[in-house]
Amino acid sequence: MTSTLQPVTALTLDLDDTLWPVRPTLIAAEKVLAEWLRANAPSTAQNTPPAAMLALRAEVAAEHPHWAHDLSAIRLETIRRALRKHGDDPALAELAFDVFFEARHAVTLYDDVLPGLERLASRYPLIAVSNGNAELHRVGLERFFAGSVSARLHGVAKPDPSIFQAACAAAKAPPHRVLHLGDDLDTDVAGALAAGLHAGWICRPDGAHADAAPRAGAHRFATLLDVADALGV
Ligand SMILES: [Mg+2]
């Protein structure tokens, strides 16, 4: 084990782009939603191409800054607004959101994730810490985790130190004994370091951030298997 990781007794993990690529998942879910709207709210579907939906979403987000940590609330209100604007029943929004939300969980895990989580969970309590709205039981990973903290339920998103503190409390470990793993240099790496945790930057060779410079004080890993190797588990 790397000497600086010696004191680690618990791990916290980001979800989107750390355990699965999120962009293809969201693109597919948007398509499923568009198909559902075509069948159930044709006027909305016809008048709300992807660019229009994005513009509506930006409008909703700007009007509701208190939802910055709650992507589900923004998505639901965006759909409701599109339905109302084009003469369809706004009450369809919940059903439409459910369709999107289910599709949003049809993720394709990175190859190292199942064997990596298996090894890491055999020794450490794992806590999910996400700014997104993915739910562990819906992606079939609940069995590896001792708990999860989401920005939506916590009320503030990463990199706010309080969400990392909540995750440490869930792991029953003080911050200096916790290693946070994530793909984002700001929300994950800088956020974890500022909250007093160890930080592991998951930077897959084919990932979006592969060319970025690592953050001082952070460990860099290509896969969860590398994390398990470094921890000697
Ligand atoms: Mg991420």
pLDDT in tens, 47-84: 999 999 999 999 999 999 999 899 999 999 999 999 99
- Do 135 and 184 fall into the same domain? yes
| Cα–ligand 1 centroid distance for 17 (angstroms) | 4
Neighbours of ion ligand 1 (CB under 5 A): 14, 16-18, 183
The larger pLDDT score, comparing residue 202 to residue 214, is at 202
- Do 117 and 217 fall into the same domain? yes
Write out the residue range of the structural domain in which residue 32 sits. Answer: 23-104
Q: Pick from 88, 104, 120: which residue ends a domain?
A: 104
| Cα–ligand 1 centroid distance for 36 (angstroms) | 28
- Do 222 and 196 fall into the same domain? yes
Query: What are 10's strand-pairing partners?
Result: 178
| Cα–ligand 1 centroid distance for 125 (angstroms) | 20
pLDDT at 2: 59
- Do 74 and 151 fall into the same domain? no
pLDDT at 207: 67
| Cα–ligand 1 centroid distance for 33 (angstroms) | 23
Which pTM does this prediction carry?
A: 0.90
| Cα–ligand 1 centroid distance for 41 (angstroms) | 33
| Cα–ligand 1 centroid distance for 132 (angstroms) | 8
Token pair 């055999």: residue: 122
Peptide bond into 159 cis (omega under 30): yes
At residue 218, does pLDDT exceed 80?
A: yes
pLDDT at 5: 87
